[in-house]
Chain A
Amino acid sequence: MTDTILSITDLDVRGRPPGGTYVPIVTGVSLSVKKGEVLALIGESGSGKSTISLAAMGFARPGCRIFGGQVVLNGRDIMTLAPPERHSLRGREVAYVAQSAAASFNPAIRIGKQVTEAPLWHGTADAATAANTAFELYQKLDLPDPEHIGSRFPHQVSGGQLQRLMAAMAMSCGPDLLILDEPTTALDVTTQIEVLKAFKSIIREQGTAAIYVTHDLSVVAQMADRILVLKDGAVVEAGETDQIIHAPQHAYTKTLMDAVTPKVRPVQAEPKKPEIVLSARNITAGYGATTILRNVSVDVPKGTVVGVIGESGCGKSTLARVIAGLTPTREGETQIEGKTVAPSVGARDKATLRDCQIVFQMADTALNPRMRIRDLLGRPLRFYHSLKGRAQVDRVAELLTLVDLPPEFASRYPGELSGGQKQRVNLARALAADPKVILCDEVTSALDTVVAAGVIALLNDLKDRLGVSFMFISHDLSTVSSFADDVVVLYAGRVMEKGPAAAVFQPPFHPYTKLLLASVPEMRQGWLEGVAQTDEARAASASGVELTAKGCPFANRCIHAMRDLCETTTPPDLVFPDGLTIACHLAPDALPT
């Protein structure tokens, strides 16, 4: 057992909320990582996976304490070391890659200086050697322009590149153990591929042991050798990746696997022609000097779900905000039940406001933390329907039951609820208005797989029971494909493809849709290696999203791009008999399948 890098035995970490007493977060967890091995910690949020990974460095977050257990790194119990000795281990023997690289880089210091900071601080290398190591790491991590990327500032590189630079920073001292805490969760699927590929190759090449923390099982399938499934701060199952994925033993692991496996959706028999509840027509909008949306049209028929998909920064949320009247339009108009509504929220009357409700992505920030649930739900009831006193209390209880929450929650504060419960309250608040259409902005992306599946089931149920229409914005294709009737694919503020879900997710595809679909991680080992080799993936990783007015915005990342034509001329809309519309210069039979 000489090649064991880290072994943790009987770890006991407790945390204390402000003013409270210590409650256990992690109890009796033991694990070990060998040289060159990748151990994945998976579990829902609050399962203690991040806490364990931090404890591997002998660190506990503010408010938390390591109460017991041994953390043996390279043969030394680091819990017995004095804080300065522990500091000297961090970065040199064990390094950490955080979830958000954007938040971990100092925006005012050049990247190269931050990457070489650790070796210089520890005195393991002089400036020239450190810079040289950094350059080699940039090359290994497949970063563009490795000679000069170090002299840029963090805001001058893309999110995926920054995440890889974060890995370069962690590897700069050549640590024996690398801890990756949800490093790709905040990234888009297309960016995720390049980051995962870079991480995997550098771990293999350096023979570093790694702990990979995530809630995404299909990512784990690509990265890990062994998996530890956690629930409520304890290990429920441990085993080889192959075994956990194909033959999970524990009931909880099975639940996790089921939530990931996409459900097959029956294709609607005949396309109905119901009335259009909400219609955004030729919307052009943006912030300040930037124009984000260009000529976007979306129709939401009554009682259906329209999915809007696309990567971050392509204007999905802006579209929802424009429709809700929170962001001004430059051109175009919004119609609700055929009537054109005022572009700004201040100029709309109460009936219009009531008909169209918006549900924000982050339930944590969308609910005022200083209001009880009964006031959060009571306000729209009073505001739109003038419900007071007893009637209001009854309706609040009804709404809570509607979203599968116990009516007793009315007296709680949002802080006392879990993420999924908060999102349900968030939905209930929109339902309180009795709207005709609800704009859901990434309502499931901050939630764990199992919880998100529950929220989707609820939305489906509400659609059937109340006849509410939804505009469902998401970057998660599997969610949209399992739930939406119609789908709109946005890229760089423009509609690339739209039509019935069945048609959008079947060939022919727009080249961008094809890329998106190919980038969704699959639940099998070796998928990553295969997909990263494709020409589509190479072309797509060559450059980033650009908001252009001219030509096709995807031209710079598209392998089918025709020089001159795609970059200069706006692509025509190809209309197919099944209602599918694709904006592309390619001939209909030349589209990727």
Chain B
Amino acid sequence: MSDLDIPAARASVFAGLRLTKTAIVAGSILLLWVFLAFFGPTLAPHGEAEIISTKTFAPIGEGGLLGTDKLGRDVFSRLLYGVRTTLVLALITTIIAFAAGVTLGFAAAILRGWFDIVVSRIVEAFMAFPSTLLALVVIGALGTSIPVLVCTVGLVLSTGVFRVSRALGMDIGVMDFVDAARARGEGAWWILSREVLPNAMAPLIAEFGLRFTFSILFLSGLSFLGLGVQEPAADWGLMVQENIGGLFLGSSAALIPAGCIASLTICMNLLVDWFQQRQQGETVLEKIDQ
């Protein structure tokens, strides 16, 4: 037995993750994007706003590697610059959404009473507005700047996170171990951070992945409407918006960033699916087999 154990131990780092094929593919694509977020600008052949050709909407291979956009800028270079903006903004907004949503959601579930009623009703009022419209109003009133954009999108997304974490908190809050902590005399902060949060981690991580993709789509949507990242900075959503006119001229300058957004969100979703499967211990296919 002992000589069999050694390779098993060596392989355990990867075996412990229990990667599936889809998870490997999705993970590698995501890693590539993260790598480019760090090193994209140094790898880019041209500047972010540099006009390299007099020909606008040049096809792939002509002018730049992936053609040029409506001003004759290199699509490939802008794409590499855009990764950073798209990923970092999405990450910050998701973190804001989670910090606000999870804290308030758990607090509402644990404290109940007036706190729960007041917070829940406010959140419901916010949820009643179409999220894009709400963001439009806020950004319209406060002007377009990155901090305003990030905070607004974060808060809009936090309403969903609030509902999920309140429901999770309600479920976990009635468990005996939480009652045991209450009987011991623990305060709300201990119960929230030590008793409830660790037990809600798995669904919250899955939720994080989903909200992250929502926030990429939402930010891209706002950029597309002209309310997000402003030119000449590169952002994938903005690139779609800038170059949408080129579609009628047969240019792929709008389709390429759209495809990148799709790859990012789909891969993130696949990874979240894999994570959820891993938590349940058995894949969907194995269940059907029964």
Residues on A close to B: CB < 8 A? 16-19, 59-60, 62-63, 83, 324-326, 345-346, 348, 350, 353, 357-358, 360-362, 365-371, 379-380, 383, 429, 433
Inter-chain CA distance A17–B278, complex, in Å, is: 11
Contact flags B1-42 to A (C-beta < 8 A → 1, else 0): 000000000000000101000000000000000000000000
Q: Is B279 an interface residue (CB 8 A)?
A: yes
Contact B184 A380 (CB under 8 A): yes
In the assembly, what is the distance between CA of A369 and CA of B16, in Å?
20
Known: A19-B18, A325-B183. A368 touches B177 (CB 8 A): yes
Q: Kindly state the separation between the CA atoms of A134 and B185 in the bound complex, as whole angstroms.
A: 53
Task: Indicate whether B179 reaches chain A with its CB closer than 8 angstroms.
Answer: yes
Whole-angstrom CA separation of A350 from B180 in the bound complex: 15
Seed contacts A345-B182, A365-B176, A370-B198; 5 additional CB < 8 Å A-B pairs: A17-B281, A18-B278, A345-B183, A345-B185, A358-B183
Q: Among A17, A362, A368, which residue has its beta carbon within 8 angstroms of that of B198? A: A368
Bound Cα distance A367, B184 (Å): 13
| A368 and B183 alpha carbons, distance in the complex (Å) | 14
Say whether A360 contacts B179, CB under 8 Å. yes
Taking CB atoms and an 8 Å cut-off, the chain B residues in 165-217 that contact chain A are 175-177, 179-186, 194-195, 198-199, 201
Query: Which residues of the partner chain A approach B278 to less than 8 Å between Cβ atoms?
Result: 18-19
Known interface pairs A19-B278, A19-B281, A63-B282; A324-B183 also in contact (CB < 8 Å): yes
B177 touches A366 (CB 8 A): yes
Q: How far is the CA of A258 from the CA of B198 in the complex (A)?
A: 42
12 contacts between A and B (CB under 8 A): A16-B281, A19-B16, A19-B278, A62-B287, A63-B281, A346-B185, A357-B183, A358-B183, A367-B177, A383-B184, A383-B186, A429-B180
- The answer to whether B18 touches A353 (Cβ under 8 A) is no
Q: 5 tightest CB-CB pairs across the interface, nearest first?
A: A18-B281, A370-B198, A366-B176, A360-B176, A353-B185
Find out whether the CB atom of B185 lies under 8 angstroms from the CB atom of A365.
no
Most chain A beta-carbon neighbours within 10 Å: one of B181, B195, B290: B290
In the assembled complex, which residues on chain A have CB atoms less than 8 Å from the CB atom of B282?
16, 18, 62-63
Among B183, B185, B280, B281: residue with most chain A CB under 10 A: B183
Q: A325's closest neighbor in chain B, by CB?
A: B183
Q: Are A360 and B180 in contact (CB under 8 A)?
A: yes
In the bound complex, CA of A366 to CA of B195 (Å): 11
Q: Which residue of the partner chain B has the closest CB to A375?
A: B194
Q: Which residues of B contact A368 (CB under 8 A)?
A: 177, 181, 194-195, 198-199
B185: nearest chain-A partner, CB-CB: A353
The answer to whether A369 and B199 touch (CB under 8 A), given A16-B281, A360-B176, is yes
B182 nearest CB across to chain A (Å): 6
* Contact among A83, A353, A360, A370 for B199, CB-based, below 8 A: A370
CB distance from A441 to the nearest CB of B (A): 9
- Set of chain B residues within 8 Å of A353, measured between Cβ atoms: 183-185
Residue of A nearest to B288 (CB): A83
Question: In the complex, how many angstroms separate the beta carbon of A80 from the nearest chain B beta carbon?
Answer: 16
Please, which residues of chain B bring their CB within 8 A of the CB of A357? 183
When distances are taken between beta carbons in the complex, the residues of chain B under 8 Å from A371 are 194, 198
Contacts of A83 in B (CB 8 A): 290
Q: Total A-B residue pairs with C-beta atoms closer than 8 Å?
A: 70
CB-defined contacts of A383 to chain B, threshold 8 Å:
184-186
Q: Which residues of B contact A360 (CB under 8 A)?
A: 176, 179-180
Question: Closest residue to B280 on the A side, CB-wise?
Answer: A18
> In whole Å, how far is B254's beta carbon from the nearest beta carbon of chain A?
43
Contact check, B290 vs A62: say whether CB atoms are below 8 A apart.
yes
Contact in complex: A348, B177 (CB < 8 Å): no
Residues of chain A with a CB closer than 8 A to B175's CB:
365
| Chain A neighbourhood of B201, CB < 8 A | 370
* Candidate in B177, B198, B201 with the most chain A CB atoms within 10 angstroms: B177
Q: Could you say which residues of chain B place their CB within 8 Å of the CB of A362?
A: 176
CB-CB under 8 A from A324, the residues of chain B are 183
Restricting to B228-277, which residues have a CB under 8 Å from any CB of A?
none
Contacts of A346 in B (CB 8 A): 185
Which of A60, A348, A429 is B290 in contact with, Cβ under 8 Å?
A: A60
Residues of B within 8 A of A345 (CB): 182-183, 185
Q: Name the contact of A348 in the complex, choosing from B176, B185, B195, B279 (C-beta under 8 A).
A: B185
Query: Which positions 37-85 of chain B face chain A at CB distance < 8 Å?
Result: none
Q: Which residues of B contact A18 (CB under 8 A)?
A: 278-282
Complex Cα–Cα for A286 and B110 (A) = 20
For A350, the chain B residues whose CB sits under 8 A away are 185
- Given known pairs A19-B16, A62-B287, A350-B185, the reply for A358 and B180 (CB within 8 Å) is yes
Query: A366: nearest residue on chain B (CB-CB)?
Result: B176
Nearest CB of A to B19, in Å: 12
How far is it, in angstroms, between the C-alpha of A554 and the C-alpha of B177 when the chains are bound? 34
**What residues of chain A lie closer than 8 Å to B16, measured between beta carbons?**
19
Q: For the complex, give the distance between the alpha carbons of A60 and B286 in Å.
A: 12
User: Interface centre among A366, A368, A371, by most B CB within 10 Å?
Assistant: A368
Instruction: Kindly supply a per-residue 1/0 record for chain B positions 143-154, scoring 1 wherever the CB is within 8 Å of any chain A CB and 0 otherwise.
Output: 000000000000
Give every chain B residue within 8 A of A16 (Cβ-Cβ): 281-282
B180: nearest chain-A partner, CB-CB: A366
Establish whether residues A326 and B281, one from each chain, have CB atoms under 8 Å apart when the complex forms.
no
Distance in Å: Cβ of B142 to nearest Cβ of chain A: 41
**How far is A362 from B179 in the complex, measured between Cα atoms in Å?**
12
Q: Which residue of B lies closest to A364 (CB)?
A: B176
Contact of A326 among B182, B199, B287 (CB under 8 A): B182
Residues in A whose Cβ lies below 8 Å from that of B177: 365-368
Contact partners of B281 in chain A: CB under 8 A: 16-19, 62-63
User: In the complex, A380→B16 CA distance in Å?
Assistant: 34
Please name all residues of chain B whose beta carbon is closer than 8 Å to the beta carbon of A367 when the two chains form the complex: 177
Residue of B nearest to A433 (CB): B184
Which residues of the partner chain B approach A370 to less than 8 Å between Cβ atoms? 198-199, 201
A19–B201 Cα distance when bound, in Å, is 18
A contact residues around B287 at 8 Å (CB): 62
CB distance from A217 to the nearest CB of B (A): 29
CB proximity of A411 to chain B, nearest CB, Å: 17
Q: Point out the residues of chain A lying under 8 angstroms from B180, CB to CB.
A: 358, 360, 366, 429
**In the complex the two chains form, what is the Cα distance from A90 to B200 in whole Å?**
37
Tell me the bound Cα distance from A51 to B252 in angstroms.
59
CB distance from A499 to the nearest CB of B (A): 29
B163 to chain A, nearest CB (A): 23
A358 to B199, CA, bound (A): 22
A89–B188 Cα distance when bound, in Å, is 53
Q: Give CA–CA (A141, B180) in the complex, Å.
A: 42
Which residues of the partner chain A approach B181 to less than 8 Å between Cβ atoms? 368
- Shortest C-beta distance, B206 to chain A (Å), equals 15
Residues in A whose Cβ lies below 8 Å from that of B176:
360-362, 365-366
Q: How far is the CA of A396 from the CA of B69 in the complex (A)?
A: 68
Question: Would you give the shortest CB distance from A175 to chain B, in whole angstroms?
Answer: 21
| Closest chain A CB from B70 CB (angstroms) | 51
Most buried by A among B18, B180, B278, B281: B180
Closest to A383 in B: B184
B114 to chain A, nearest CB (A): 15
| In the complex, chain A residues whose CB is within 8 Å of the CB of B290 | 59-60, 62, 83
Chain A residues within 8 Å of B194, by CB: 368, 371
